[in-house]
Amino acid sequence: MACIARPRVVRRQSSNPGKSIVSTTRRIHLQAPDNAVLAQGMADIQREMKLPMAFPPEVEAAAAAAATNPRLPALDRTELPLLTIDPAESMDLDQAMYVEAQGEGFRVYYAIADVAAFVRPGDPVDLEANRRGETLYGADNKIPLHPKVLSEGATSLLPDQVRPALLWTIELDHAGEIAGIDVRRARVRSRAKLDYVGVQQAIDAGNADPMWAVLRRIGELRSQCEQARGGISLPLPEQEISVVDGRWTLAFRARLAVEDWNEQISLLTGMAAARLMVQAKIGLLRTLPEPESQALQRLRITARTLGIDWPATLDYPGFIRSLDPRNDRHLAMLTACTSVLRGAGYAAFNGSLPAQPMQSAIAAEYTHATAPLRRLVDRYTGEVCVALCAQQPVPDWVLAALPGLPATMQASGHRAHQYEKAVLDLAEAAALSSRVGEQFDGAIVEVAPDASKGVVMLREPAVEASVSGSSVLPLGADVKVSLVEADPVKRVTRFALA
C-alpha cells in the first residue's frame, strides 16, 4: 500500500534514522569517481539477475504499430477536468483524477490508462509483459513493463492528449464510505501534469486549486474509515535514491500529506474493484493473512523489552497508532511490527471465493487495479470490473489468464524486491567506502535471534546496515558504531558496536 517507486528513484520502506528525520530530509551525494563504481555495480546487478535490459525488436515494432492505432471508446468524457499527480520526473502516468463534493458526500473520478486499447491478447507486447510482470526501478534507470512508446507515450495519461481510459466513478457518503461504483471505457483528457512537491507547496501557501481541499477531506475521511476497520499503516519514512545529472543522492524522506490523500484514492479504487469481483465471485485479490497470535506475542515481548506500555486492552492496530517514529524506541518497535505483515499473495477465483480473501493491513478485500502501465495484473482486474459493470461476460482471454497470474506476480514481486535491495546496498556501500574505521551515531532498530547481531540506522548519512557486538545488542538504544566494511563490489556494509 505504499507509494510505488518511480523513474530514477528506488525506495525501500525503512526506519527513521534519527529523531529529526521525520520532519527533515538529509542527503548524501555520490560524485565522480564514485559514479564509475556505481555504474559498474548497476551493470553487475543486472547481469547477475539476468534482467531484460531491452525489448526484442519484434516487441518494439508491435508497440510502435499499436501506438498509432488505439481502439478509442465511444463514450466521450474529455470535459472532465482530470489531473495527474506523480513525482515530477514521471512520464508513465497511469492515473488521472478529479474529485468533487456531491451533496453531503463526494464523487471521485479516477481514469486509469487503458492498456488493452493498445495491446491485444497474445501479441508480442502482451507476451513480453507477461514474462516481465512489472516495471523494475533502479536509481538512474528503469526496466519497464511495456516499451516506452506506449508506457511513456501513447498509453500514458499525458496532459492535453485524448486517451482511452477505464473511468472509475465512485460515490462516497458523508463519512467517506463507498455508496456507488461504476467503471467503463471512455475517452479522457488530462488538464495538467502536476507533481507532489509543487502541489503541497501550493496547498501550504493557500493558493491551491479548491479541488485539493476536497481531496484532503476525502483522504482524511478514508483514513478514519481505515482506522475504524482496524487497518494498519506504519508511519515509516522511505529510503530513496535519486539521480540528477549523474549524481546519486541517498536519503530518508518523510511522505507529504498530499501523497497520503492521493494514496487513499488508489486504495479506495482497489477496494471498489475487489467489492465488484467478490460480489460476482470472479477475479483476483491481493491478500495478506492476519498476523499469527504467536507473532503478536513476540511483539508484546519486544514492547516490554523497549519499555513501551502496551495495555492488554489495546489491539495491534491501536498500538501502532500510539507509536511516534521520532522516538528511537518507538522507531525500533515500528520496525519490529513489520515482521507480522508477511505472507502477501494473490488469489484468483471463479465461482467461489478464496478461503482467505482479506488484505489484513487494509482490513478489507482489495486488489491491484490502478497501475496497468507498471504492473501486469492491473490490466486483467480492470477488464473484469468493466465487464461486471456492463453486465457482460468477462472476456475469455482474461479467464484463461487468471489462474496463472498469482504465480507470475509473486515471481515478479520477488524479483523487484531483490533488485531494489541490491541497488540500495550498492549505494550505501559506495557512500561509505572511503570511511572504514570511522565512528557514527545511530540507533539499534532490529536484533536478530542471535542477539549479538542486528541492524543499525545511522543518524548521518542515511544508511541502514548490519551491526554486531560482543554482547547483546541494546534494541532501541542510541549507540556509537564503527564501520568495519563497506565494499561496493560485494554490496556489503557492516558495523560493530564501538
pLDDT digits (tens, 9 = 90+) for 246-274: 677 777 777 899 999 999 999 999 999 99
Phi, psi of 217 (to 5 degrees): -65, -40
Question: Per the domain annotation, does 4 fall within a domain?
Answer: no
Q: What is the total residue count of the chain?
A: 498
Kindly state whether residues 460 and 415 are assigned to the same domain: no
pLDDT at 27: 52
Q: How far is CA 163 from the centre of its chain?
A: 25
Kindly state whether residues 104 and 214 are assigned to the same domain: yes
Mean pLDDT of 314-331: 88
pLDDT at 29: 53
Q: How many CB atoms lie within 10 A of CB 345?
A: 16
Phi, psi of 48 (to 5 degrees): -60, -40
pLDDT above 70 as % of the chain? 92
24 pLDDT more than 70: no
Q: How confident is the model at residue 369 (pLDDT cuts 50, 70, 90)?
A: very high
Encode 96-135: b = buried (16+ Cβ within 10 Å), e = exposed.
bbbbeeeeebbbbbbbbbbbbbbbeeebbbbebbbebbbb
Phi, psi of 131 (to 5 degrees): -75, -35
Rounded to whole angstroms, what are the CA distances from 138 to 85, 192, 240, 317, 479? 21, 27, 10, 33, 31
Beta carbons within 8 Å of 337's beta carbon, 6+ residues apart = 234, 299, 320
The count of structural domains within the chain is 3
26 pLDDT more than 60: no
Kindly state whether residues 334 and 205 are assigned to the same domain: no
Choose between 90 and 139: higher pLDDT: 90
Q: What are the tens digits of pLDDT across the range 121-175? A: 999 999 999 999 999 988 777 899 999 999 999 999 999 999 999 999 999 999 9
The answer to whether residues 254 and 22 touch, using CB atoms and an 8 Å cutoff, is yes
Q: What are the tens digits of pLDDT across the range 168-218? A: 999 999 999 999 999 999 999 999 999 999 999 999 999 999 999 999 999
Question: Per the domain annotation, does 282 fall within a domain?
Answer: yes
Q: Which residue has the cell 483524477?
A: 97
Residue 332 three-state SS: helix
Q: Report the candidate in 66, 9, 114 with the shortest Cα–Cα distance to residue 370.
A: 114
Q: Report the candidate in 342, 335, 341 with the shortest Cα–Cα distance to residue 448.
A: 335
pLDDT at 18: 31
The answer to whether residues 163 and 113 touch, using CB atoms and an 8 Å cutoff, is yes
Kindly state whether residues 219 and 282 are assigned to the same domain: yes
Helices and strands (H, E) in the chain, number of each type: 13, 20
Question: Per the domain annotation, does 3 fall within a domain?
Answer: no
CATH number at residue 438: 2.40.50.140
Q: Which residue has the cell 530514477?
A: 8
Model-level pTM greater than 0.75? yes
Phi, psi of 459 (to 5 degrees): -75, -40
The answer to whether residues 444 and 332 touch, using CB atoms and an 8 Å cutoff, is yes
14 pLDDT more than 90: no
Question: Per the domain annotation, does 122 fall within a domain?
Answer: yes
6 pLDDT more than 60: no
pLDDT at 246: 67
Kindly state whether residues 64 and 186 are assigned to the same domain: yes
Q: What are the tens digits of pLDDT across the range 325-340? A: 878 788 888 888 888 8
Question: Per the domain annotation, does 167 fall within a domain?
Answer: yes
Question: Per the domain annotation, does 2 fall within a domain?
Answer: no
Rounded to whole angstroms, what are the CA distances from 71 to 4, 74, 161, 349? 28, 10, 15, 29
The answer to whether residues 262 and 219 touch, using CB atoms and an 8 Å cutoff, is yes
Q: What are the tens digits of pLDDT across the range 418-458? A: 999 999 899 889 888 989 999 999 888 888 888 899 988 88
Lowest pLDDT segment from 68-82, 96-110, 276-290, 294-308:
294-308
d(CA 279, CA 277): 5
Question: Per the domain annotation, does 55 fall within a domain?
Answer: yes
d(CA 67, CA 61): 10
The CA-based angle 314-344-332, given to 5 degrees, is 45
Kindly state whether residues 199 and 314 are assigned to the same domain: no
Q: Which of 412, 430, 448 is the last residue of a domain?
A: 430
Kindly state whether residues 263 and 239 are assigned to the same domain: yes
Kindly state whether residues 130 and 86 are assigned to the same domain: yes
Kindly state whether residues 417 and 478 are assigned to the same domain: no
21 pLDDT more than 60: no
Question: Per the domain annotation, does 1 fall within a domain?
Answer: no
Kindly state whether residues 29 and 102 are assigned to the same domain: yes
pLDDT at 67: 98
Q: How far is CA 193 from the centre of its chain?
A: 20
**Mean pLDDT computed over every residue of the chain:** 89
484 pLDDT more than 80: yes
Q: Whole domain around residue 314: which residue ranges?
A: 293-339
15 pLDDT more than 70: no
Hey, what's the torsion of the CAs at 115, 288, 96, 78, to 10 degrees?
60
